Structure 1
Amino acid sequence: MTLLKFSELFLDTALDLALAILCLAFLLTVIRIWRGPTLPDRVLGLDVLTSSAIGFIAVIGIDTGFTLYVDVAIALGLVGFLATISFARFILARGDTERSPVSVTEPVADEIVLGEPETRP
């Protein structure tokens, strides 16, 4: 086996392994976004999802040899950064980071009123 054939085989194996690992990361990130439990967890998951997509684009760009994919990855990185900043400002303005907007929570013991409410003079 020549050095050129070995390097082609090694690159193909490394690209296949990288795509498999990125698929696993993508799947685990989607599960984290789905399960939550809080809104900041979901925003962080979307940021990781953007990073995984940039990794996919980079691996596909290396595999095909097209340099246009680098520009697409840079643009996606910028859009992902702006989306993360926007979500962070939304969470900051909302002020409720402890509860998930999709889950129903039980009332806290302090909120339960037992008997007649006290009247203050």
Structure 2
Amino acid sequence: MNNLILAAAATTDEHAPAVTAKAYDMVNPFSIELLNVVLWCGTLSLVIGIVMCLIRIWRGPHHADRVLAADTLSLQVVGLVVILTISLRQDLFFDAVLAVAILGFASTIAFSQYIGARAQEKIDRLNKEAGQ
């Protein structure tokens, strides 16, 4: 255990792979298999959810249904990228997670504004027709 701490405190890059390998060897093999099963189950459930959202976007009877499905779709893509990050053991994809989450939020706000403006135009048109 002391060797692991000393190697982790080193500042050169040549010690980094050794630390990762030693830390990985200390993990119980059962927990690695359990993590793989959980990651596969999570991936499968997210893929099923993505397919269901795509169907709702395609067939949604109203624009609000499509907006909610698109928002849920963006969150599921975030979940897939997080699972990819965990399975590859790379911190690189967390920036992509933030970007996808921000884009999903911004698109939801934009679609909501569009739906609100369209509904207001419809109300104004109906009021104008009723006034004539």
TM-score range for the pair, normalised by the shorter chain length: 0.7 to 0.9
**1:71 matches 2:95:** yes
SS in 2 for 1:18: helix
In structure 2, C-alpha distance between the alignment counterparts of 1:15 and 1:53, rounded to whole Å? 14
* Bigger relative contact order, structure 1 or 2 (CA pairs below 8 A, ≥6 apart): 1
TM, length-normalised to structure 2: 0.69
Gaps of 5+ in 1: 97-121
Which amino acid counterpart does residue 21 of structure 1 have in structure 2?
Answer: S
The ranges of structure 1 where at least 4 consecutive aligned residues each deviate by more than 3 angstroms after the TM superposition are none
Alignment partner, residue 13 of structure 1: 37
Q: Sequence identity of aligned pairs in percent?
A: 33
1:62 pairs, out of 86, 97, 115, with 86
Alignment partner, residue 117 of structure 2: 93
**Alpha-carbon deviation of 1:29?**
0.8
More helix by share: 2
Q: How many residues align?
A: 95
**1:24 matches 2:48:** yes
**Alpha-carbon deviation of 1:19?**
0.5
Which amino acid counterpart does residue 64 of structure 1 have in structure 2?
Answer: L
Instruction: Output the aligned Cα RMSD.
Output: 1.5
**1:49 matches 2:73:** yes
TM, length-normalised to structure 1: 0.75
Gaps of 5+ in 2: 1-26, 121-132
